């Protein structure tokens, strides 16, 4: 996105000491004044239900954390909380042109039908949207018996738009209804590009009487032109899907729909821990990938301690290509890593570590239409981790998985591991999601002993 609003941007102040008493009042000015705008929101708690349609090709910043004179602010999303008071959606933006940046805010206690109780964002054309340094807390979207998604935030991308979410916490958000996706976050992209970086999802839920997908988040790309989604540095913990019919992706669910070109999805550097399935539906995984077209690349993904679920589940059909590199799957109640495939697709699983799971470590299945799976450098026993009993599955000094895998598998090894540290220490990559180093060994040994 751009560097920000210009020095000549109109500054609009919101809060008890501001020019405008509400965010809505400031947006009413910003969406029609024909210039760049910077909306500064005073630190504190502000009851909010704001909506705007932006058609002008200008830059708009909405920034929290300002002092009472609006002369200085803090980079702390907890300083300013916008609350829907459990009765209304906090923020709704339709962005047809220009660039919008929302940062340093907590979006909390929103309530909405269908989705996006904390924020409901539509980005179209060549417009762009960024949500940064945020907290999204305790929002609830209820679709009744219909289709809904994004209990905390829903982002819908159309045209050649771009959207980005970075350095945000999603916690205790809920989506419920018939067919639902994304307890904390739902991203749908027919075209354009989405980027997520430094995101944490804790204790979010998706309750679906028909289908429940993505307890923490769901990413649904394709169906249009050439969409892409790239997610790095993810922590997805203790989220849940609940259904008596169909459950998919207790932590995260990804789907690639057929598109003119693509879609392309990359997830690199992520830990899924303790996500669970409730209800009588079976077959869910912590991370679920359903690919009908395009390319999905999974690098340095840890799926551990899953409750009533498998670790990683991949189902590819048609001409989809799914590349999984450096996966660690440990102590999931069902299987560690599951592959199912249809005709003409390509799947790989390289440099993986899977052990201590409840049923099978690896399931390289076939749904009856052909088998196009390539696998190598698979470790199906404990290679020597720091502390299995207490959930520390990083490699210990002397582990047989250190410097034991290949640097150039199909799809590449990427730059970071599941701890967001350098992917290669030395000359050869380790097996599994966590790269060993002397510093990391001491750090995580001390951390787990002190917990």
Helix or strand (DSSP H, E) at 407 = none
State which H helix or E strand residue 276 sits in. Answer: strand 276-278
pLDDT values of the chain reduced to their tens digit, one per residue, 451 residues? 334 455 679 999 999 999 999 999 999 999 999 999 999 999 999 999 999 999 999 999 999 999 999 999 999 999 999 999 999 999 999 999 999 999 999 999 999 999 999 999 999 999 999 999 999 999 999 999 899 999 999 999 999 999 999 999 999 999 999 999 999 999 999 889 999 999 999 999 999 999 999 999 999 998 777 899 999 999 999 999 999 999 999 999 999 887 766 789 999 999 999 999 999 999 899 999 999 888 999 999 999 999 999 999 999 888 889 999 999 999 999 999 999 866 667 889 999 999 999 999 999 875 555 556 788 999 999 999 999 999 999 999 999 999 999 999 999 999 999 999 999 999 999 999 999 998 766 666 555 555 5
Distance CA 406, CA 377 (A): 8
Decide if 79 contacts 41 (C-beta within 8 A).
no
Alpha carbon 77 to its chain centroid, in Å, reads: 19
CA-based nearest residue to 131, from 97, 176, 105, 101 = 101
| Contact status, residue 355 vs residue 382, Cβ threshold 8 Å | yes
Tokens of 275: 């996500």
In CATH, the architecture of 110-450 is 3 Solenoid (2.160)
Q: Which residues make Cβ contacts (< 8 Å) with residue 138, sequence separation at least 6? A: 108, 109, 171, 172, 173
Neighbours of 293 (CB within 10 A): 22
- The DSSP symbol for 389 reads G
Whole-model pTM: value is 0.95
The rounded distance, in Å, linking the Cα atoms of 354 and 378 is 8
3-class SS of residue 87: coil
Both structure tokens of 380: 């199906």
Alpha-carbon distance of 85 to 164, in angstroms, equals 26
In 3D space, the residue among 105, 167, 175, 118 whose CA is nearest the CA of residue 147 turns out to be 175
Q: Using CA atoms, how far apart are residues 200 and 327, in angstroms rounded to an integer?
A: 19
Which regions of 19-98 does DSSP assign to beta strands (E)?
37-42, 44-47, 50-54, 59-66, 80-83, 91-95
Altogether, the residues listed in the chain come to a count of 451
- CA-to-CA distance for 354 and 248, rounded, in angstroms? 21
Report the sign of the C-alpha dihedral through residues 281, 255, 257, 112, in that order. positive
């Amino acid at each position: 996105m751009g560097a920000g609003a210009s020095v000549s941007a109109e500054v609009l102040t919101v809060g008890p000491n501001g020019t405008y008493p509400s965010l809505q009042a400031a947006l009413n000015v910003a969406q029609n004044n024909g210039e760049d705008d910077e909306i500064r929101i005073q630190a504190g708690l502000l009851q909010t239900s704001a909506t705007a349609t932006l058609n002008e090709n200008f830059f708009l910043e909405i920034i929290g954390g300002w002092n009472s004179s609006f002369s200085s602010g803090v980079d702390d999303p907890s300083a300013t909380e916008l609350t829907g008071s459990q009765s209304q959606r906090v923020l709704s933006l339709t962005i047809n042109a220009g660039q919008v940046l929302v940062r340093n805010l907590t979006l909390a206690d929103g309530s909405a039908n269908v989705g996006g109780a904390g924020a409901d964002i539509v980005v179209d054309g060549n417009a762009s949207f960024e949500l940064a340094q945020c907290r999204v807390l305790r929002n609830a979207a209820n679709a009744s018996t219909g289709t809904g998604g994004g209990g905390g935030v829903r982002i819908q991308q159309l045209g050649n738009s771009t959207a980005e979410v970075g350095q945000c916490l999603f916690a205790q958000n809920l989506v419920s209804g018939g067919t639902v996706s994304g307890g904390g976050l739902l991203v749908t992209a027919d075209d354009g590009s989405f980027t997520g970086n430094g995101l944490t999802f804790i204790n979010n839920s998706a309750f679906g009487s028909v289908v429940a997908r993505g307890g923490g988040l769901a990413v649904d790309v394709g169906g249009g032109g050439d969409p892409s989604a790239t997610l790095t540095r993810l922590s997805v913990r203790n989220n849940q899907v609940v259904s008596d019919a169909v459950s998919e992706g207790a932590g995260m669910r990804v789907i690639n729909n057929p598109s003119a070109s693509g879609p392309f999805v990359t997830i690199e550097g992520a830990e899924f821990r303790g996500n669970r399935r409730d209800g009588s539906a079976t077959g869910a995984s912590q991370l679920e990938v359903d690919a009908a077209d395009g390319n999905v690349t999974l690098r340095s993904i840890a799926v551990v301690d899953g409750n009533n679920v498998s670790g990683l589940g991949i189902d590819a059909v048609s001409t989809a290509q799914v590349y999984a590199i450096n996966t660690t799957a440990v102590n999931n109640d069902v299987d560690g890593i599951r592959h199912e495939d249809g005709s003409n697709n390509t799947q790989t699983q390289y440099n993986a570590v899977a052990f201590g799971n409840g049923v099978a470590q690896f399931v390289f299945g076939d749904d009856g239409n052909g088998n196009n799976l390539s696998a190598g450098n698979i470790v199906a026993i404990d290679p020597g981790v720091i502390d299995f009993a207490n959930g520390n599955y990083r490699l210990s000094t002397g582990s047989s998985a250190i410097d034991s895998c290949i640097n150039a598998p199909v799809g590449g090894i990427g730059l970071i591991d599941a701890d967001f540290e350098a992917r290669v220490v030395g000359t050869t990559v380790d097996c599994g999601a966590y790269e060993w180093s002397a510093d990391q060994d001491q750090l995580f040994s001390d951390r787990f002993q002190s917990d």
